Structure 1
Amino acid sequence: MDVSIVLILLFAGALLSFLSGDKWASKTALLTSVVALGASWLVLCKHNAKEVVGVSYLWSQKPNIHVALSGDGLSLAMLMLTTALLPLIILSTFGRNIQNAKSFYSLIMFMGFAMAGTFLALDGFVYYIFWELALIPIYFIALLWGSGEHKDRQRAVVKFFIYTFAGSLFMLAAFAYLYTKAGSFMWTDLAKLDLSKTEQIWIFLAFFAAYAIKIPLIPFHTWQAAVYEKAPTAGTMLLSGIMLKMGLYSILRWQLPIAPLAAKSFMVIFIWFGLAGVLYGSVVALRQKNLKKLLAYSSLAHVGLIAAGAYTLNKDGLSGAVLQMISHGFAIVGLFLAADIIIDRLQTREISEMGGIRSQAPKFTSMFMIMVLASVALPTTFNFVGEFTVLYSLFFKKVWFAIIGGLTIILGAYYMLKMFQNVMLGETNKKPFRDVSWSEGLTFSIIIAVTFFFGLYPKPINDLIAPSIHQIMFLIHSGPRLL
């Protein structure tokens, strides 16, 4: 079994979800996503057994394009994140009244297919196709199933589409230039190019334009809060839990190995880009009165810290960035699920109109509290492992980097606990609030189990990604070499 099987299953899930009709679409999507997760696990087991799980087929001779899919530890870690979160996101929608469900779940599965392809592709042209394909389903998910006035929703989604598509064109131009140098789009060929420092700077900046918008980093973040708020919760989960990781992953996979001289030259500047997101996201989250927007800016702060860790160009920074990508994916999906439950029950997004939920829903309160503590990196949680490793890497670059990066924990603890107090405690809300359903409880339970398991025992992920991190470090610090 190789990684292409997982993509085939996700694509088949998209087709079957549409063909099964509105009544069975959610169940079909859940079943096929679980099967895709199982296939990912089998691929991972083969990888751990030192068996080849990647594939490469010639697609076109002129231009030279290969359908090449990576089976290394970094790609498989992101594949597991995608296929693990996909069934949880689908399960979280059970019990909701979704119009035209067959199209909705088909788009979710197709988006999972495109994102998984982005993480696996080793040919730059194929990678770019998957990168752009992932944009199409989320555009329609947010536009057709989002909340608020259609004009406001359309404005937010179109802005998001234009921003991300425009940034991607810079990346495409960079790949086109690299092809003229290497005669190939293959990562193994591009990473060993002996480019001048000037060439690397332009390539680095072109990639940065695409990745900074997708993540997003300051000041390319202006689309984020509006889209997170207007999109249906499943769409917000896809964006925050998986899609933004495409940009962070791509920094490690494409930007740093291909343009290491530029990365070293701009290292301090781009660490500050990430830390600016930490400061800005945290300060704006402190002032938020809208629950979904608060979580959106909280996410902005956390991904800023991840990007800062990646740009430290040291082993701990890169490893911590990957660990935090995965932990943030689970934590933010759990938080947005909690927000969706509250908004659905109370029919309001305003924190000031909430309160008193604890007395009516003790199970939900406990689960939500655990997700809040995970998001602020409480020791024994998965988020603590990633954030501590990133802060450790920043400390060895400059003490002030670690101090500023640590504000994401300090300020995060303040605004998240304050939010929990205002939303869950206090006087009982006049509106009835039922406790979690079986699907909501199961989703929370799985996320919490993952959070504590890898918070106490992150070794399997560290062992999985270690060879890939070593290879990236070698390319950054040793220059172009035959791979």
Structure 2
Amino acid sequence: MITALLLFWPALAALLVLLIKGQGAKKVAFVAALVEFALSLFALSGFNAENGGTQLALNFPWIESAGISFSIGMDGISILMVLLTTFLVPLIVLSSFKHDYKNPNVFYALILFMQTGLIGVFVAMDAFLFYFMWEVALIPIYFIAAVWGGENRIKVTFKFFVYTIFGSLFMLAAFVYLYLQTPGIHSSDVNAFYQLALSSGEQSWIFWFLFIAFAIKMPVFPFHTWQPDTYTESPTQATMLLSGIMLKMGIYGVIRWLLPIVPMGVSQWDELVLILAIIGIVYGSIIAIRQRDLKRLVAYSSIAHVGLIAAGIFTLNEQGLQGGVIQMLSHGINVVGLFFIIDIIFSRTNTREITSLGGITQNAKALSIFFMILLLGSVALPLTNGFVGEFLLLSGVFQYNYIYGAVAGLTIILGAVYMLRMFQGVMFGTKSEATESFTDLTMNEMAVLIPLVIMVFWIGLFPNTFLSISEPAVINLLSIINR
């Protein structure tokens, strides 16, 4: 029941927010998002971390004659993704309080509707329910970006929509085929898919149908071209949703729906995927170094980080998968914090160009501290959240192939280059005309950044808090893959 409540509460709250006119909508949306976070903590309190299977499940017929069920539940991987979602959404809503968006009730209702889709993706145990929630998450973010985005928002969001729908159709085709292969009364339950005895040829093409859908969402090179423009043109809150949570849908899809269903297909193509992921690491990092727009720089850095996560999980060893799970949490926290700080700088200076900034630290000591902590987490400094995930991921890649591991390890060096150069150009040096009267953080802005910084150190200092939750599920997943 608690899983169903987690799924439907944001949608019910969104309907309430739609009825509220004026700026009161943001306060109701924030309270609703906090309630959702409290529900996720309650779910965690009833979760047995030693059990690697599905818990807190609910299953009843949806289309009974077709064997399609409304089946939801959570294992250790799912619940961490739910916690990430419910932790970040209130902060994303709170980060928007300084903005006066037109039709705020619609804006905040769309955020809550999107949260329903995101939660649905992470708890769905039925293929067609997963596909339905996948699309539910897409629609709100499309309208948020298209209505409240920048000057080129229509062209950019249309490209994003076409890319995503294109991938979704491949996923749907694969799910329909898998469904038709289940014996007797067909079933679309994930466990029924796990038990299918598919030939090597079948697994090969199903692999690519599913991988393309998930790779576009992450995105993995060369399926990434929609991402930088979409992140840049979208309003900051949409960018946070896309980078902090939505791209995790693609990574989660690989872990839940790709690796265990077509293990022979994975074994045929895993090396190619690793090569693409490593190309993405180097490509994203080099392009990030060349960027002068803060938002585009962080967008390209995200491609590099996701490339490492993809490389790690396709090693099919425990370190790589555990690293992927913990890095999803860390990346979500760091990238949301960085995009919020960029939004703070833009709101005070009306520019995101590094060459037009400088000297901010002279007037904004608190901002400098928060910015540096989140930046160090992003470049994987030991004792921060990014270090745990990157260490496990690189360990997994080195176990697979030491040459691939060495090249993937460039993410640490290149990440430090573009992040520290960005910090130096923005925060140090001589004040510019745009930063002359720069003011430090407000209480509202600190209320967003403090929880993020706490998580940077919590994951960095006490990673077993989270690794112990996902470990049994990862081991169970590996047993299914290697059966």
Whether TM exceeds 0.5 here: the answer is yes
- Tell me if 1:452 matches 2:481: no
The counterpart of 2:351, out of the listed 327, 336, 348, is 348
Tell me which of 37, 57, 62 is aligned to 1:59.
Answer: 62
Q: TM-score, normalised by structure 2?
A: 0.97
State the alpha-carbon separation in 2 of the partners of residues 439 and 203 from structure 1.
Answer: 48
Instruction: Say which of 283, 289, 293 aligns to 1:290.
Output: 293
Does 1:111 find its partner at 2:104? Answer: no
Say yes or no: does 1:223 pair with 2:241: no
Task: Map residues 7-406 of structure 1 onto 2, 5 A cutoff.
Answer: 7-48=7-48, 52-147=55-150, 149=151, 152-182=152-182, 183-406=186-409
What is the identity, as a one-letter code, of the residue corresponding to 2:40? S
Separation in structure 2 between the aligned mates of residue 52 and residue 114 of structure 1, nearest angstrom: 20
Identity %: 45
* CA distance, structure 1, for counterparts of residue 358 and residue 229 of structure 2: 24
User: Residue in 2 aligned with 1:463?
Assistant: 468
Rounded to whole Å, the distance in 2 between the matches of 1:71 and 1:22 is 37
Range that drifts further, 10-19 or 73-82: 10-19
Other structure's SS at 1:341 match: helix
**What residue in structure 1 maps to residue 448 of structure 2?**
443
CA separation in 2, counterparts of 1:69 and 1:451?
30
Aligned-residue CA RMSD in angstroms?
A: 1.1
CA–CA distance in 2 between the matches of 1:217 and 1:95? Answer: 34
Secondary structure of residue in 2 paired with 1:216: coil
Answer yes or no: is the 8 Å Cα contact 1:160–1:227 preserved in 2. yes
Q: Secondary structure at the match of 2:259?
A: helix
The 10-residue stretch of structure 1 (243-252 or 91-100) with the greater mean CA deviation from structure 2: 91-100
Cα drift, residue 141 of structure 1:
0.6
Moved over 3 A (4+): 49-52
**Range moving further from structure 2, 125-134 or 21-30:** 21-30
The code of the aligned residue for 2:415 comes to G
Structure 1 window deviating more from structure 2 (359-368 vs 8-17): it is: 8-17
Deviations 1:211-264 (A, max 9, x none): 111000111111000000000000000000000000001100000000001111
Counterpart residue number, 2:423: 420
Q: Is the 8 A contact 1:46 1:52 kept in 2?
A: no
Equivalent pair of 1:217/1:274 in contact (CA under 8 Å) = yes
Whole-angstrom distance in 2 between the partners of 1:443 and 1:406 = 31
Q: Deviations over 1:86-130 (max 9, x none)?
A: 001111111112111111110011111101100110100000000
State how far apart, in whole Å, the 2-side matches of 1:118 and 1:67 are: 12
Amino acid at match of 1:406: G
Contact 2:214 2:251 (8 Å CA) reproduced? yes
Give yes or no for contact 1:2–1:52 (8 Å, CA) kept in 2: no
SS at match of 2:59: strand
Residue 52 (structure 1) shift:
4.4
Is the Cα contact below 8 Å between 2:76 and 2:472 reproduced in 1? yes
SS at match of 1:295: helix
Question: Does the 8 A contact of 1:2 with 1:55 survive in 2?
Answer: no
Q: Counterpart amino acid of 1:22?
A: G
Q: After superposing the two structures, state which structure 1 stretch, 372-381 or 88-97, moved more.
A: 88-97
Shift of 1:74: 1.0
Structure-1 separation of matches of 2:56 and 2:428: 50
For the residues of structure 1 that align with 2:239 and 2:257, how far apart are their CA atoms? 26
CA contact (8 A) 2:2 2:39 kept: no
Any stretches of 5+ residues in structure 2 without a counterpart?
none
Could you tell me how far apart the structure 2 residues matched to 1:21 and 1:120 are?
Answer: 32
- Tell me, yes or no, if the aligned pair for 2:55 and 2:75 is still in contact at 8 Å: no
Equivalent residues of 1:142, 1:232 under 8 A apart: yes
Cα distance in structure 1, aligned partners of 2:8 and 2:349: 40
What displacement does 1:61 show? 1.7
Letter in 1 for 2:294: L
Map Cα deviations across residues 312-358 of structure 1 (whole Å, 9 max, x no partner): 01111111000101100000000000111111111012111111111
TM-score, normalising length: structure 1: 0.97
Cα pair 2:360 2:428 within 8 Å, conserved: yes
C-alpha separation in 2, matches of 1:156 and 1:369: 31
Partner AA of 2:16 in structure 1: L
